[in-house]
A and B are shown apart, each in its own frame.
Chain A
Amino acid sequence: MEKIDSQVNLPPGQEQFLKGISLLTGVGAQKDESMAAASLLDSSDLDNPSGLFACALIYFCGVGVTRNAQTASEFAQKYLQIDSKGAYSKLCTEVIDGSVGSSNALKALYALGPSAGSSGSTAFNANLYSTASAAKNKKLYLVGGGAAALVVAIALFVLVPKIGGPLPASSAPDAASLFSSDEIAEAKRKALEQAGLVRTEARNEAMKGNK
């Protein structure tokens, strides 16, 4: 990992951030929101501004984590403490006061890929998807994307066989979906029959007791 950092001269936590975005968007890795959240949280642990901003957004939108506006606000505040005039400061303020809106927050989150390499040096404005902005960040995106692809390749071919896959948290099935409606209808009919027998027995016992 140190080798990768030195090759592309990434700031602390940027590697984890890029990995997180890669997992989040499914570009260069299989999409996995839970693991994306875990990587972004790792990035934020290293006080990476982009990571902190991304964590504010994932908690604000509930992507890969349980939605929690309070936690989102805490990440946004930490971002502002580190880089109060950074590229994402305006959006962080909006996350804190809740005015950003889920839809905008989600757009901003998924737009982090192209502008992420800037590490807060590029002004982040409403023209998030403009071609000008994309062109401005193209070089950094390529570097970041390359690093992310390298990290993902290492993760896939070296670490995953060693570490094992993630717990299937996101695929934990909904209880009701595990049974067909016919199966439940039949089970319920039989359960009600049995419960009816039990209730009758209880009533008969009570009547005997009263006599």
Chain B
Amino acid sequence: MKNSLFKSYVMGALVTLSCSAVSAQTFNDAAVAFDSAKYNDAADILRKLNPQTPKAKAFLCQLYADKLISPNHDESSRVCEEAVVAKDPVAIYIYSIAYLNGNPEIQITANPTKGIGFMAVDVIDLDFAPAYDFFCSKYLRENNVNTAINFCKVAASKGMRKSLYAMGVLSSEGKGVIQDYKRANDLMLASAALNYTPAYMYLGQVSRDGLNGNPKDLKQAYAWYSLAAAADSNNTSAAQARDNLRLSGDDVIAAQKLATVWKAKTPKLIDYHKAN
């Protein structure tokens, strides 16, 4: 009798412990699972969070929208809508992109006007950096530099690497802003520090050809092109530009060291799910 009571006590304690272990999983655990490409595990953790915050719902919405987990239209529609209603900036951004292109995973058919409207909400109500970044690119594509530049400046100041690059190009060419090579260089370096391939390519070209008042420096060019090739393995032009420099063995090693040191300093990109 005593034995069975002890057994049931131990079992009870084990169940309690295991339950508390499950409930102890946090949003960050989901982010860690996501970073390890364990998307189903991330989704399970997000589903079990209690309370399920708008941020968690937005994260789950993204997993569905990006086809990282098997479709479940009921759940995907629910979590996305609830996160959007709660004005989660990531969810609104996902909705915006979904309306711009259409996304059957979260049951949204294309409606570009609505998509742009959602993106505007992300700027006006939530001051969301990727939304400024979006408008920067959109207006630049439409050759509307005067409108684009305001979005580009805000997005760049918030550390959006694409906008930093865009501002670098505009400063270098003197479009929408006063031509300023020093500033262009700084903007490109800030973008490259966020591991942005076009910024590496630009800096490579500047070093190779001695542009913007900089002296030619083939070893630096080699280092920038190497970083570009490493940042985007599909970028064959970077590897080609690097190899076309035809440096000597010693110079290549010196250039590779420059690239390695730079890479060690490259910070991680902002993860808007993890940001508070």
Q: Could you tell me which A residues sit within 8 Å of B by CB distance?
A: 34-35, 37-38, 65-66, 162-176, 178-179, 183-184, 186-188, 190-192, 194-196, 198-199, 201-203, 205-206
Q: How far is the CA of A170 from the CA of B189 in the complex (A)?
A: 10
Contact assessment for A179 and B124 in the assembled complex, using a CB-CB cutoff below 8 Å = no
What is the distance, in angstroms, from B164's C-beta to the closest C-beta of chain A? 6
B109 proximity list for chain A (CB < 8 A): none
B93 interface hit (Cβ, 8 Å): no
Contact assessment for B265 and A170 in the assembled complex, using a CB-CB cutoff below 8 Å = yes
Interface class of chain A by DSSP: helix
Contact assessment for A167 and B223 in the assembled complex, using a CB-CB cutoff below 8 Å = yes
Contact assessment for B124 and A174 in the assembled complex, using a CB-CB cutoff below 8 Å = no
Of B119, B135, B154, which one neighbours A184 at CB under 8 angstroms? B154
Of B121, B153, B257, which one neighbours A187 at CB under 8 angstroms? B153
Contact assessment for B124 and A192 in the assembled complex, using a CB-CB cutoff below 8 Å = yes
Q: Could you tell me which B residues sit within 8 Å of A by CB distance?
A: 113-114, 116-117, 119-121, 123-124, 132, 135, 147, 149-151, 153-154, 156-160, 164, 167, 183, 186-187, 189-190, 192-193, 217-220, 223-224, 251, 254, 257-262, 264-265
Contact assessment for B147 and A172 in the assembled complex, using a CB-CB cutoff below 8 Å = no
Contact assessment for B262 and A169 in the assembled complex, using a CB-CB cutoff below 8 Å = yes
Contact assessment for B113 and A164 in the assembled complex, using a CB-CB cutoff below 8 Å = no
Can you spell out 15 A-B residue pairs with CB atoms less than 8 angstroms apart? A167-B262, A169-B261, A169-B262, A173-B186, A174-B190, A175-B159, A176-B157, A178-B183, A178-B190, A187-B149, A187-B153, A196-B120, A198-B116, A202-B116, A202-B120
Contact assessment for A66 and B183 in the assembled complex, using a CB-CB cutoff below 8 Å = no
Contact assessment for A178 and B117 in the assembled complex, using a CB-CB cutoff below 8 Å = no
What is the distance, in angstroms, from A185's C-beta to the closest C-beta of chain B? 10
Return the chain A residue nearest B222 by Cβ. Answer: A164
